[in-house]
Amino acid sequence: MKNEKDFDKFWTIGESVDAVKIKLRRPRNVDFLLKILKETPYNIGKRNMIQYLEEAYFNISDVAFKYIDERKKKK
């Protein structure tokens, strides 16, 4: 940023945004992060919190990729 006036435009989307391409793909090892985290010291009821995180991770991933697949079909 050259000066403080540029901060007003920092989040403005310019023409170059069309050049940005993000390709999402399913990860090869979906539970890699969860394996690293292992069990937490916290339980919710009889289940360890990592089990809830694992369930949430897979559900969010499924919804995201279903959305992507639907968008591809519309093109």
Cα gap 75→43, rounded to integer Å: 45
DSSP string, the chain: --SGGGGGGTT---GGGGG--------SSTTHHHHHH---S-EETTEEHHHHHHHHHHHHHHHHHHHHHHHHHH-
Domain residue spans in the chain?
24-74
Question: Against a cut of 0.85, is the pTM above it?
Answer: no
Per-residue model confidence as pLDDT tens digits over 5-57: 777 776 777 777 777 777 777 666 667 777 787 888 889 999 998 888 888 88
